[in-house]
Amino acid sequence: MTRRRVVIGVLVAAALVLSIGRWASEQYTDSLWYAALGASDVWRARFVNGMALRIGTFLFASAFAFANLYAVRQSVVSLVLPRRIANIEIGEEVPGRYLLFVTAGLSALLGAALSLPGHVWYTALLARIGRPFSETDPEFGADLGFFVYWVPFETELYYWAMLLLLVVIGVVILLYALTPSLRWTRGTLYVSSYVRRHFTMLGGMLLLALAWSYRLGMYRLLVEGSGSGGTFTSLDHRVTVPATLVLALITLCAAVVVLWAGWSGQMRLAFFSVSAVLLLSRTLTAFYTATLVSEGLAVDWDGEAPPPTARLARRRP
């Protein structure tokens, strides 16, 4: 057994050394190429910001994955693996520290796989060093530099956070399916109370991400409005932006309630909170459509509104 551990340790160390060596050679080659072009400052900015972004997202992703995988680990009372000695097969319980090591290792692998790639370094750099334009937009009262420098970087963070959340949810569901806490029995799906609480917490995380998407959606309206050529119309000003702001605030409050309900085991409260958010979303969508009709705007079959000067040319059957 000791010899096997030594062999595995040597193989893992060799793989790490080879990976680090390859990465270091690539960075050295890139630095020489940038230096030959007289752009060493660009390479340093790319390297520093790219490394900071990768390390920061790796640590956050690993911590988030570890928190969820450790919750799965806590649901496993013991893990017994079959072991054969001569002609006798006996069960051997895996020590708890080994399960903890596996949890930490899997979390680190997920963090490394889901860290932000280095090619988005320039968005992080612009968000950090971007200077204000000293001009504000009339809708939100924010400096124009906020939309030029920060919003693209925040959008990258949002898509990364959504990918991280969905992957971790998938891994958690898969691991729970390997335990008796989540199984299909007698034609019905059995979910233990512990797993329901964990899923409720993850549902609260999804609501937080939804509220974040509403926030970014308000800012995107200034660039991609409902008017001709993506212009920002009076309907966006009077209806769409306020409705999106209301949805963002209510979804944020609902996410906090769902997180608390999942932590305390109040499943009914979590269900009612999610139902209220869905109902409000449908209500505001119907209100937006009714406002389009009352304003005399045509709605195409693909759901896109034509220029605000166009009158209602046709109606749906």
How many structural domains comprise the chain? 2
Could you tell me if residue 24 is inside a domain?
no
Residues 133 and 264 in one domain: no
Task: Give mean pLDDT, residues 165-185.
Answer: 86
Task: Give mean pLDDT, residues 233-249.
Answer: 81
Is the pLDDT assigned to residue 317 strictly greater than 90?
A: no
Residues 246 and 212 in one domain: yes
Task: Give mean pLDDT, residues 39-48.
Answer: 86
Could you tell me if residue 240 is inside a domain?
yes
Do the Cβ atoms of 182 and 169 come closer than 8 Å? no
pLDDT at residue 95, rounded to an integer: 64
The domain of 235 spans 192-317
pLDDT at residue 163, rounded to an integer: 94
Q: pLDDT per residue over 95-118, tens digit each?
A: 667 778 888 889 999 999 998 877
Which residues, 6 or more positions from 104, have their beta carbon under 8 angstroms from its beta carbon?
Answer: 66
Residues 64 and 154 in one domain: yes
Q: pLDDT per residue over 143-170, tens digit each?
A: 888 888 999 999 999 999 999 999 999 9
Is the pLDDT assigned to residue 282 strictly greater than 80?
A: no
Domain end: 129, 157, 186, which one? 186
Could you tell me if residue 219 is inside a domain?
yes
Do the Cβ atoms of 79 and 94 come closer than 8 Å? yes
pLDDT at residue 308, rounded to an integer: 39
The dihedral over CA atoms of 248, 251, 255, 258, expressed in degrees to the nearest 10, equals 170
Residues 198 and 316 in one domain: yes
Hey, is 185 helix, strand or coil?
strand
∠ CA 162-165-166, nearest 5°, is 85
Could you tell me if residue 47 is inside a domain?
yes
Could you tell me if residue 29 is inside a domain?
no
Which residues, 6 or more positions from 275, have their beta carbon under 8 angstroms from its beta carbon?
Answer: none
| Least confidently predicted of 29-33, 66-70, 73-77, 126-130 | 73-77
Residues 175 and 199 in one domain: no
d(CA 120, CA 56): 13
Is the pLDDT assigned to residue 94 strictly greater than 80?
A: no
Residues 196 and 233 in one domain: yes
Do the Cβ atoms of 255 and 207 come closer than 8 Å? yes
Query: What's the predicted TM-score (pTM) here?
Result: 0.78
Could you tell me if residue 26 is inside a domain?
no
**Residue whose C-alpha is closest to residue 297's, from 244, 236, 222:** 236
| Least confidently predicted of 10-24, 88-102, 160-174, 264-278 | 88-102
- State percent of the chain over pLDDT 70: 82
Amino acid (1-letter code) at residue 83: R
List C-alpha distances in Å: 295 to 225, 239, 246, 288.
Answer: 16, 11, 22, 11
Domain end: 186, 204, 230, which one? 186
pLDDT band at 312 (very low <50, low <70, confident <90, very high): very low
Residues 153 and 210 in one domain: no
pLDDT at residue 291, rounded to an integer: 64
Residues 202 and 280 in one domain: yes
Residues 257 and 124 in one domain: no
Domain end: 134, 155, 186, which one? 186
Could you tell me if residue 198 is inside a domain?
yes
Residues 196 and 301 in one domain: yes
Could you tell me if residue 234 is inside a domain?
yes
Residues 241 and 278 in one domain: yes
Hey, is 154 helix, strand or coil?
helix
Residues 313 and 219 in one domain: yes
